[in-house]
Amino acid sequence: MTAIDRSAPAAMAAEFGLTPIGRQPALKAYMQALWERRFFIWTFARSRIAAENAESRLGQLWQVLNPLLNAGVYYLVFGVILGQSKKIEHYIAFLLTGVFIFAFSSRTIMAGSRSISGNLGLVRALHFPRAVLPFANVIEELVKTGTSLIVLAVLVVLTGEAPTAQWLLLIPVILLQLMFSAGIALVFARLTAEIRDVAQFLPFALRIWMYLSGVMYLISDFVKHHDGHPIITILLEANPAAVYIQLARDALLNTAQTNTPVWNWYLAIAWAIVPLIGGFIFFWRAESRYGRG
């Protein structure tokens, strides 16, 4: 019998750059492959926006209408019934800023969490870095948020706030918030792909997070009114959503009661870097398992 040369297939695979199916890619090679597909990520995000707008008569306008409608409900409950509008100067601008900024993270995390489980056909049919999908969702939400921020700026001016050079600080705030939201989206993309029940739990977790983040009220005033411990105040004010909301309010509103310490920027940077790196590595470690089962 003729001996079978088992090294021939391996040599041929190496010659053409082929790798075994199911093997975990090296982190450096994975990042390089992801970078090579950066134009695809942008195109994929734009195509999703176009497809979404085609299914609705109002299209992208809903990205503005949804937070506005929510803000109207919150103003009725917190501003009128609970009297927050009497305690906080320019409360409408204060509330709108909180709602729009929180909605950015909330939508990004929700969209990212469905990026793998909602595209199983694509994942199983083609070979590509799976992080392309959550990153495309993140870019999609960033583009949508650009329109929302323009509307927010107009509404803030209509409430009596004058535009200043300080408004430019909103740019780094959004970029840092984008990094944070992308990291969390990567975490939930993997969790939802492995445990589908996470998708059912996530909206409730985000709603609780919103109520703890000072979207509708001043955290310091709320804790003081309820005789809370200073540590509770620190924990609430240090949570990432509260940090980015406060920095956005500092940029847009000229009211002393929204001023926060300089160290809030250090917190914003830390919340941006740590979840992004940790979330990316957490997502990458399950790369070979996506689309199975």
What are the pLDDT tens digits along the chain (293 aa)?
455 555 555 565 565 555 555 567 889 999 999 999 999 999 988 888 777 666 655 556 666 677 777 778 877 877 777 677 777 778 888 888 998 899 999 999 999 999 998 888 888 888 889 999 999 999 988 988 887 888 888 888 888 888 888 899 999 999 999 999 999 999 999 999 998 889 889 999 999 999 899 888 888 776 666 566 677 778 888 899 999 999 999 998 876 455 567 788 999 999 999 999 999 999 999 998 887 75
In sequence order, which ranges of the chain are alpha helices (DSSP H)?
A: 7-15, 27-36, 38-54, 62-74, 84-87, 91-113, 120-125, 132-158, 170-194, 198-211, 219-225, 230-238, 240-252, 263-284
DSSP 188-217: HHHHHHH-TTHHHHHHHHHHHHHHTTTSSS
Predicted model pTM: 0.84
Query: What confidence score (pLDDT) does residue 104 get?
Result: 92
Name the residue ranges covered by the structural domains of the chain. Answer: 25-283
Q: What pLDDT score was predicted for residue 270?
A: 96
Q: What pLDDT does 278 receive?
A: 97
State the pLDDT at residue 175.
95
Tokens of 209: 């997070």
CB-based burial label for 188 (10 Å; 0-12, 13-18, 19+): buried
Q: Give the Cα separation of 267 and 285 in Å (integer).
A: 27
Q: What are phi and psi of 285, to 5 degrees?
A: -65, -15
